[in-house]
Amino acid sequence: MLLLNSSLNGGFSYHGLLATTAMAGVTSHLGFFIRGEHHIAAPIIARVYFVLLLAVFFLGIKYLGIYGGSKVAAVVSGVYVASLLSSIITYRKLFHRIRGFPGPYLAGASKLWHLFHVRDSHNHLFLDKLHENTERPTEITIFSPEVVKVADGPNNNCTKAVWYDILIPLTALNTTRDKVHHDQRRRIWNQGFTKKALTDYENRINTYGEALERHIASTTGQPVNVSEWFYFLTFDVMGDFAFARSFKMLEDENWHYAVLMLRRALTLLGPFSSVPWLIQLALSIPIIPVVRDWHTMIKWCSDRMTERIKTKVERQDISSSLINASLNNNSLQQDRFLLDGDSVAMIVAGSDTVASALIYLFRCLALEPAHAKLLRAESLGVDIYDPRALASLDHLNGVINEILRLFPSVQTGGYRQTPPEGLIIAGRFIPGNITVVAPRYTIGRL
């Protein structure tokens, strides 16, 4: 067969080429991929591979013609991928420092196994089904309540895992992986959440709550799609808090195009969060519709920040302290990557989370009307505009806490990375620089 013929053809040795390719697969894995983090470089790596493949293809054509060239390119890429995968699997199964943790065999071989199983975005149900300390390459899923304190509690030594590079080149408060930088940024954010600011936000929420109440009253007993309306409520509120400008969905009784686009863009995270390098690769291919939505969403949030910087607002919003800090520091332009990142965080962090909590809360009350009755009885004679009075209602707070336990808004996310020296969780040593996944959906139901 042509490709197994080891004789030189125009100075071209197939066996030599295939041996070099196989060695390149193993060398690139052992010399490059297992050293440090490369997920952000995934698009560049993919381009380098593509250029190399083209080079092999054209060299092949030069010496062997179009048919031979295509065959050489196909075989070279096949041999390279096979040798790279063999090296990855051998290393992970025989030498990796978390090889001893239990879990499905293929889970420890490739993250693509996980991606395949969560392609429907139901990662919380998938992990819940596994429900055991489960190994995946460089990542451990831990179903123990202790992980919450050790990996996320005060003074923990963990950092945020590679997933948090998702917004790069932008950085939001919640995606900042450097602890010192996060603390600095957090102090600036805190100025937007002083007691005075919170009282003002509470008053502003009332206006939106009343608009929702008016709509429900106007439907006179007809079914209301509360899932939609809770999203209208929370996005309108967060638009106001973030940029002093509501999305006006409650008023228009319809979705704002930017919110629809944002929700479509976020669907990327469901299946792909388990393989961060694939997210980076996908984000570099804007012809994919959901990726186009993602970039348009980021641009939309950046544009809102540009608009907000130029606007003088009468009432404080979260952006006020962020913009003022940059103005005072004379670093408004240099800080745009932070401000634009925070713009995404402000919109998403407060709206998606609260909407999903409200939807689950009312679903459970519909299924358990006795609790709805108890809540009504408890709130009789209470000034519902007084947050302190609401905070003292035991059953109301119990119901909210139960909903957040059973249906946490962040069900599987919040990936953390162990410190270089490793740490002990639930009596077991976890080596350093390992991603720890603590699925709140399951941990809340143990």
Contact residues for ligand HEM (CB under 6 A)? 173-174, 186, 241, 345, 349-350, 353-354, 357, 404, 409-410, 413-414
Min. distance of Cβ 356 from ligand HEM in angstroms? 8
Interhelix angle for 394-406 vs 336-367, to 10°?
110
Question: Closer to ligand HEM at the Cβ: 187 or 373?
Answer: 187
Task: Find, among 107, 109, 102, the residue nearest to 117 by Cα.
Answer: 107
The residue of the chain with the least Cβ separation from ligand HEM equals 350
Min. distance of Cβ 13 from ligand HEM in angstroms? 52
Min. distance of Cβ 201 from ligand HEM in angstroms? 8
Min. distance of Cβ 250 from ligand HEM in angstroms? 17
How far apart CA 132 and CA 124 sit, in angstroms, is: 13
Question: Closer to ligand HEM at the Cβ: 173 or 430?
Answer: 173
Q: What are phi and psi of 436, to 5 degrees?
A: -110, 125
Q: DSSP for 76-97?
A: HHHHHHHHHHHHHHHHHHHT-T
Min. distance of Cβ 426 from ligand HEM in angstroms? 20
Min. distance of Cβ 358 from ligand HEM in angstroms? 8
Give the H or E element holding residue 384. Answer: none
Question: Closer to ligand HEM at the Cβ: 322 or 423?
Answer: 322
Question: Closer to ligand HEM at the Cβ: 25 or 317?
Answer: 317
The radius of gyration of the chain from alpha carbons, rounded to an integer in Å, stands at: 26
Angle among Cα 176, 180, 183 to the nearest 5 degrees reads: 75
Helices (H) then strands (E): counts for the chain: 19, 7
Angle among Cα 84, 89, 91 to the nearest 5 degrees reads: 95
Min. distance of Cβ 92 from ligand HEM in angstroms? 26
Identity of the amino acid at 416: R
How far apart CA 197 and CA 315 sit, in angstroms, is: 9
Question: Closer to ligand HEM at the Cβ: 109 or 423?
Answer: 423
How far apart CA 339 and CA 319 sit, in angstroms, is: 8
How far apart CA 185 and CA 5 sit, in angstroms, is: 63
Give the H or E element holding residue 417. Answer: strand 416-417
How far apart CA 208 and CA 230 sit, in angstroms, is: 11
Min. distance of Cβ 67 from ligand HEM in angstroms? 52
**Are 128 and 411 in contact, with CB atoms under 8 Å apart?**
no
Question: Closer to ligand HEM at the Cβ: 87 or 326?
Answer: 326
DSSP state of 136: E
Min. distance of Cβ 428 from ligand HEM in angstroms? 23
Task: Decide: helix, strand or coil at residue 142.
Answer: coil
Task: Find, among 230, 224, 259, 250, the residue nearest to 361 by Cα.
Answer: 230
Q: What are phi and psi of 146, to 5 degrees?
A: -65, -30
Min. distance of Cβ 334 from ligand HEM in angstroms? 21
Question: Closer to ligand HEM at the Cβ: 151 or 211?
Answer: 151
